[in-house]
Amino acid sequence: MAELKQFHSQIIKLGLLADNYVMGRVVKFCSVSKKDNLRYALKVFDTIPNPDAFIYNTIMRGYLQRNLPRNCILVYSEMLQEFVLPNNFTFPCVLGACCDDYAIEEGKQIHAHVLKLGFGLHGVTQNSLIHMYVNFESLEEAKRVFDKMLKRDVVSWTSLINGFAKWGFVDEALKVFELMPKERNSIVWNAIIAAYVHSNRFHEAFSLFERMKEEDVVLDKYVAASMLSACTGLGSLEQGKWIHCYIEENGIELDSKLATSIIDMYCKCGYLEKAFQVFNGLHYRGISSWNCMIGGLAMHGKGKAAIELFKEMERKMVPPDNITFVNLLTACAHSRLVEEGRYYFQYMTEAHGIEPRIEHYGCMVDLLGRAGMLEEARKLTDEMPMNPDESVLGALLGACRIHKNMELGEQIGKRLINLDPKNSGRYVLLANIYANAGRWEDVANVRKLMNDRGVKKTPGFSVIELEGVVNEFTAGGRAHPEAKEIYAKVDEMLEGIRPFGYVPDTEGVLHELEEEETENPLNHHSEKLAMALGLLKTKPGETLRISKNLRVCKDCHQASKLISKVYKREIIVRDRNRFHHFKMGECSCEDYW
């Protein structure tokens, strides 16, 4: 910058201030360099007698790069007032500013300028219009621009696909994708696969991935990250291992996001040892990798190990953030580490200046509630500096159910239903609290309220991956081609564990209205069916890994412990809240879930 100022003084002495070519280069250097240099660029800009479109574009780009979109729009307005005609490079910049500033009316006016000035066929400008309208959720306008394009490039197709996906229209995104010429690259494939992953439609994401491989499209780090998320969602360890192996064998750049995706996949597919191996093998561990590993330990109920890893993180001089402490407090909650949780809740502010957010308060309410300290948990919700949201009250309501506190549970449950009226789990928890107290009329009233509001209960399902195929079960479902053998194996399993003390929790069937439909027999809950198929298809000694979308019920939890003992298998079950490692008749959660 010091050298530039010397050159600038020579330009002034030589009388070249009116030379837009020369002055444009001065403005460009200042605009795109360090943040503070934009002020100098503006001073230079004010001395130029008749700046051209290049100079105006450069100033606009400088504002946009510094996240000052409104200033960018004002410069465009000034440009028009000075009768300087925009060019191909003007509209992408100013449309981007409208997008960032959510300036809908200005964006429509600039669209009119694009058409009036004859830039309606310019590809980059049209892509910018699509992106802007997508950002405004004006999908019809985006589609109209797209349809009028004479030549569409990858950016055009990807922008529209991402637009439909962003606002939840995944099927429409697929229709656009199918219309695209067959020369689809990894960018477009990642757009459609990511759309399905973000919508939790993991099976369809896998189907698209198989199609992509059939078309010999090279798997890049972006597709890899999306598919690892799909593996995580389904608990598909074998597919995840294949993608990890592909990344290593093909030298795909292992950036922070991809490394975290791999660690997260192994953690959430129940292979904690491999997650640690990947984590320890990283040359550079960013904050996201540390957070992911601490969070993985928390999910597996390894609270003390999570605390030790956090201490190592501090020794490595990696500053923690608010997510670090959410994961750390969650680890304490799942491992009954009440005093440690209290300590770190204070420590985050005292040692690192991180003020507790609502997520941290939610963790503390969960920690205290699980430990039976309901009054302290309730008091904390009352003293929070912000209003407790549905997650905080939901943690307290769940604790009331576990510890059968009907009075507080009823109070919190009614409050929570009003706050989160579309969430079926809130009604179910309150109904269970009434059921445990024998208040059947109130149970009926809660169910009626659900029906009146059109709230449907989330169906329970479990998945198990065997030989690279993901098998999904619902309670009492018989859609699996080997259903006859599976049900026979379930009967064999339950008969085999009766001599070891298994007694079906029939009271739970009558009272528990949550995890599986009560019309289904207790022994046909989805995880029992998945477990039976696992025993049929694997060799003695192999680990079974099962994922379930809801909380494991008491009966299945007890049965799983005994099945692990009788069949001498480790059974790893991921439910809605955490992992359960069943081995030799014990569970890693120590019946604390």
- Cβ–Cβ < 8 Å for 279, 263: yes
Would you say 345 and 314 are in contact if contact means Cβ atoms under 8 Å apart?
no
CA distance 300 to 581: 8
Inform me whether the pLDDT recorded for 198 exceeds 60. yes
| Predicted confidence (pLDDT) at residue 511 exceeds the cutoff of 70 | no
Q: Does residue 509 register a pLDDT over 50?
A: no
Is 60 exceeded by the pLDDT of residue 518? no
Give the helix ranges, DSSP H, for 466-525: 483-497, 506-511
Phi and psi (nearest 5°) for 545?
A: -120, 120
Query: What is the per-residue pLDDT across 343-390, written as a single tens digit (0 to 9) for each?
Result: 999 999 999 999 999 999 999 999 999 999 999 999 999 999 999 999
pLDDT given for residue 521 in this prediction: 61
With bands split at pLDDT 50, 70 and 90, how would you rate the model's confidence at 101? very high
Kindly report the pTM of this predicted structure.
0.83
Residue 117's identity, in one-letter code, is L
- In angstroms, how far is the first alpha carbon of the chain from the final one? 61
At 60, the pLDDT band (50, 70, 90 cuts) reads very high
What's the pLDDT tens digit per position in 310-327? 999 999 999 999 999 999
d(CA 73, CA 96): 10
User: What's the rounded mean pLDDT across residues 411-419?
Assistant: 93
Domain parsing of the chain, residue ranges: 358-457, 461-587
Query: How far lies 4's CA from each of 10, 34, 50, 57, 295, in Å?
Result: 10, 13, 22, 20, 50
User: Which of helix, strand or coil describes residue 292?
Assistant: helix
Q: How far apart are CA 520 and CA 490, in angstroms?
A: 14
- Statement: residue 65 has pLDDT above 70: yes
Q: Does the 358-457 domain belong in CATH 1.25.40?
A: yes
Residue 522: band (very low, low, confident or very high) from pLDDT cuts 50, 70, 90? low
Alpha-carbon distances, residue 224 vs 161, 179, 255, 379 (angstroms): 19, 24, 12, 46
Structure confidence at residue 34 as a pLDDT band (50, 70, 90): low
Range in 133-142, 417-426, 515-524, 548-557 with the lowest mean pLDDT: 515-524
Where is 302: in which H helix or E strand? none
Phi and psi torsions of 586, nearest 5°: -125, 160
Evaluate the CA torsion angle 124, 130, 134, 135 in order and state its sign: positive
Nearest CA to 115 among 152, 79, 137, 145?
Answer: 145
The one-character DSSP state at 561 is: H
Per-residue confidence band for 516, with pLDDT thresholds at 50, 70 and 90: very low
Tell me the one-letter amino acid at 159. Answer: S
Residue environment code for 136-147, b if the CB has 16+ CB neighbours within 10 A, otherwise e:
bebbebbbebbe
Concatenate the DSSP letters of all residues of 321-387 into one string: -HHHHHHHHHHHHHTT-HHHHHHHHHHHHHHH-----HHHHHHHHHHHHHTT-HHHHHHHHHH-SS-
